[in-house]
Structure 1
């Protein structure tokens, strides 16, 4: 399996508000600039309130525009993954009015809301099911952030409710487009926050692949510096961490979001960070693909974004390639020249989080935690560690299936 390379598509004109003034010619121009980088897919983001403004109204014209975008991508040789429930993007929440204020209902547990979400996902998937370049649906972009702190107005749930909701949403995607590559994606609280409702087990066992979103502004770069081993290998760490929970030793892992956020990664270092991050990720087995965040910069004419959001693009608003874009294009070309055959990671670091389903002690996996820091230290020594759950550390069959011949604890690693 040769990993796929793509980009999260942020329109150069109007950001995701472009759905309000949809211009297929502008989209085609954007996609042409993406294709020039040698990429093979994009991930796109309908804004949920614009597509389903009422619980029982999914706007046909909006769905037609999404189909038109997917068809335009095909013209440029690009496959498409569609995120459904937006949800949350670049610090802004986009929830329909029928879930808020006077109609406030829990988006994970209210029966009417959940049924409407499922129908929305099914409708989008069904509209695209016959498009050969439609990869499949992602349930939503980091929608786990609505389930609890630090969100200012969360919809509280527990792991059992999160599990039930994810299964319903994935089933809706499958009913709409049977056999496509449907998955879900969380931000790193699922891996790093003790009491978070969405768990590593859900991420690594539900859906066709495990989605990893790697952002080093989570304390990694602040602690280790922009060029530290832990920073440049953070994506690889999250890939390997996900493998600790996977029941299939060769489950695909999709590095679905990764970017170079300023100022923790200085703009002049973005290209080097991109090169190191991709090299680290491709040193892991079973990587389905790498999808950079993002395609085009956010225009400075748009207000109130966090500063880092304005400069994450591989291309400018004028569709000119930035140094990070050149670095990603070079990585794509080099991968195609040399192929993909990472060596087995024979040494595994033990991850003890308590019960593996609810992971009550997963904070040890976060930056500063004993697992994270031990993995970074071993990586700095050239060890190339894997990660294995404590309850599997003596399972000879599991270790053999992953090519692991040595198991060490964080204390031994230090």
Structure 2
């Protein structure tokens, strides 16, 4: 089997954070404000947005999916289309910027497990199917993401998790993806977890699920997870963190050229100070696009959160490519320049011929903390990268599979113990 990566044109987008009312804007939906926001995003040259209905507002009762809310989502998608923007929709919100948004019919007196209760799961299926079906005939509708980092509800450190096994997590993902497909057949449906799926021992959502289920593998890269604290704002591990997650994900792929979507990445202060955000943005994108089979990069986020809104973690107020009054920030200028440089180009990075071997169970990956910042595997990958090696990642059980290695262009392997 030969190495036959397909040249790609990378996609560039933003996670849309409305300037008026943040995601509470669904309560006072103003299509003119949305259009102005989307105008400012489109002026950066971006080609897509990821948007976030708030689940409790769209489905306040298990058998009530509000038609007006669905109409507003379609109106947003139509406004995006008018500006040349494709749309991905996250369904189960779920969790956003430190706040949980769960409908009352899953909480307190009606407390039921989000992932295993038959009535809750059936309600989620109908909700996702309804949203997908409402957008199925829109040419700019990319597809559904099941929800934003909903895996955080399943395990520590959530203060009140709905605990499940990895087999229950997989069954839930399969049902939710099937519901999206039923609503909008043939679209680009996927799921997305925060990095506990890659880094946390025993977490029920696993790398294998991310790498096998859905139309692409999504990774969310945040260097406030210990990476920047340990390696500094310009450290190799910091500027290559997104690339590391992309390569780590590929170790579990059964299709050697399955697309990977860098669906969330941002420059969080104070770990990345404001005056260094542009440099970090440019370095992160360049390093991510030095990986093969990257579908695209979607920055978090489009606009800063308004200081009029209370109780957000401090970093959340400054993550935008644009200010809350839609002025372009240095990171936004950087994104616009990168987009212009890539316009009309296809790319196929040179294969990563050396792979770092990860010795873990391929199904449950019980010892994932070795892959986290400070873990032996993470630090070995960063060390190789600092030496200019451009390492891939391969599971130990595949390290001697010559056909699999050849399909990825890998000609040599090295273990963490062998890394200087």
TM norm structure 1: 0.99
- Residues 9 and 344 of structure 2 are in contact (CA less than 8 Å); yes or no, is this contact kept in structure 1? no
- Residues 170 and 205 of structure 2 are in contact (CA less than 8 Å); yes or no, is this contact kept in structure 1? yes
2:94 to 78, 87, 94: 87
TM norm structure 2: 0.98
Give matches, 1:228-267, under 5 Å: 228-267=235-274
- Residues 352 and 361 of structure 1 are in contact (CA less than 8 Å); yes or no, is this contact kept in structure 2? no
Q: Distance in 2 between matches of 1:19 and 1:69?
A: 11
- Residues 10 and 346 of structure 2 are in contact (CA less than 8 Å); yes or no, is this contact kept in structure 1? no
Give matches, 1:31-110, under 5 Å: 31-110=38-117
Q: Distance in 2 between matches of 1:289 and 1:122?
A: 25
Q: Secondary structure at the match of 2:78?
A: helix
Alignment deviations for residues 239-261 of structure 1 (CA, whole Å, 9 cap, x no partner): 00000001000000000000000
Give matches, 1:271-350, under 5 Å: 271-336=278-343, 339-350=346-357
RMSD (Å) for aligned C-alpha atoms: 0.6
In the alignment, structure 1 segments of 5+ residues that lack a partner are none
Alignment deviations for residues 251-298 of structure 1 (CA, whole Å, 9 cap, x no partner): 000000000000011111000000000000000000001000000000
User: Would you say 1:12 and 2:19 are equivalent positions?
Assistant: yes
Q: Distance in 2 between matches of 1:191 and 1:138?
A: 18
Q: Distance in 2 between matches of 1:151 and 1:90?
A: 14
1:372 to 372, 375, 378: 378
In the alignment, structure 2 segments of 5+ residues that lack a partner are 1-7
- The structural deviation recorded for 1:336 is 2.2
Alignment deviations for residues 198-238 of structure 1 (CA, whole Å, 9 cap, x no partner): 00000011000000000000000000001100000000000
- The structural deviation recorded for 1:337 is 6.2
1:363 is matched with which residue?
Answer: 369
Alignment deviations for residues 177-199 of structure 1 (CA, whole Å, 9 cap, x no partner): 00000000000000000110000
Q: Distance in 2 between matches of 1:105 and 1:124?
A: 23
- Residues 5 and 40 of structure 1 are in contact (CA less than 8 Å); yes or no, is this contact kept in structure 2? yes
Q: Secondary structure at the match of 1:245?
A: coil
Q: Distance in 2 between matches of 1:122 and 1:27?
A: 24
1:220 is matched with which residue?
Answer: 227
Q: Distance in 1 between matches of 2:234 and 2:243?
A: 15
- The structural deviation recorded for 1:109 is 0.3
Greater RCO structure (CA 8 Å; 6+ sep): 2
Give matches, 1:168-187, under 5 Å: 168-187=175-194
- The structural deviation recorded for 1:341 is 2.1
After the TM superposition, which parts of structure 1 deviate over 4 Å for at least 4 consecutive aligned residues? none
User: Would you say 1:166 and 2:165 are equivalent positions?
Assistant: no
Q: Distance in 2 between matches of 1:364 and 1:17?
A: 39
Q: Distance in 1 between matches of 2:367 and 2:275?
A: 37
- The structural deviation recorded for 1:338 is 5.3
Q: Distance in 1 between matches of 2:411 and 2:339?
A: 32
2:405 is matched with which residue?
Answer: 399
- Residues 352 and 409 of structure 2 are in contact (CA less than 8 Å); yes or no, is this contact kept in structure 1? yes
Q: Distance in 1 between matches of 2:276 and 2:345?
A: 25
- The structural deviation recorded for 1:321 is 0.3
1:148 is matched with which residue?
Answer: 155
Tell me the number of residue pairs that the alignment of Structure 1 and Structure 2 aligns: 413
2:37 is matched with which residue?
Answer: 30
